[in-house]
Chain A
Amino acid sequence: MHESAAQIFINAFLANNFVLAMFLGLCPFIGVSGKLETAVPMGVASTFVMLVASLCAFGINILLAHLGLEFLRLIAYIVIIASTVQLVEMVLKKYSPSLFRALGIYLPLITTNCAVLGVALFQTAREYDFVQSITFAVGAGAGFTLALVLMASVRERLQLSDVPAVAQGTALSLMLAGILSLAFMGFAGLGG
Chain B
Amino acid sequence: MIDVAIPPQTTSPVAMIRTLGLVAALCGFIIVAAYQGTFDAVQENKRIAVERAVFKVIPTAKAIVEYFAAPSGSVTKVGAGDTAPVGSIKFYAAYDASGKLAGIAAEGVAKGYSDNVRILFAYDPGSAAITGFGLVAMRETPGIGDKILVDKDFLANFPLEAKLADDLKQLAHAIVTVKHGSKTQAWEIDAITGATITSRAVGRAINDAAQMLLPRIVPNLTQLKENNGPPRS
Contact = CB atoms under 8 A, between A and B. Distances in A.
6 contacts: A1-B110, A15-B114, A16-B115, A71-B35, A72-B31, A189-B114
B111 interface: yes
Interface SS of chain A: helix, strand, loop or mixed? loop
Interface of A: 1, 15-16, 21, 71-72, 75, 188-189, 191-192
Interface string B93-128: 000000000000000011111111000000000000
Given A75-B27, A189-B114, A189-B197, A1 B35 contact: no
A191 B116 CA distance: 11
Nearest to A65: B83
Contact of A188 (B35, B110, B114): B114
A102 B116 CA distance: 38
Contacts of B146: none
A53 to B, nearest CB: 21
A91 to B, nearest CB: 23
A1 B114 contact: no
Interface of B: 27, 31-32, 35, 109-116, 197, 208
A1 B113 contact: no
Contacts of B208: 1
Nearest to A192: B111
Nearest to A71: B35
Nearest 6 CB-CB pairings of A with B: A192-B111, A71-B35, A188-B114, A1-B109, A189-B113, A188-B113
Nearest to A74: B31
A1 B113 CA distance: 16
B114 A75 contact: no
B31 A71 contact: yes
A189 B198 CA distance: 11
Nearest to A16: B115
Nearest to B114: A188
Nearest to A1: B109
Contacts of B111: 1, 189, 191-192
Contacts of A75: 27, 31
Contacts of A16: 114-115
Nearest to B27: A75
A134 to B, nearest CB: 20
A157 to B, nearest CB: 30
B133 to A, nearest CB: 16
Contacts of B112: 189, 192
Contacts of B27: 75
A67 B116 CA distance: 31
A190 B35 CA distance: 40
Contacts of A188: 113-114
A191 B110 CA distance: 12
A71 B39 CA distance: 11
Nearest to B36: A71
A71 B34 CA distance: 10
Contacts of A192: 111-112
A190 to B, nearest CB: 10
The listed residue with most B CB atoms (<10 A of its CB), out of A72, A188, A189, A192, is: A192
B150 to A, nearest CB: 22
A90 to B, nearest CB: 19
Contacts of B35: 71
Contacts of B115: 16
A72 B27 CA distance: 10
Most buried by A among B111, B112, B114, B197: B114
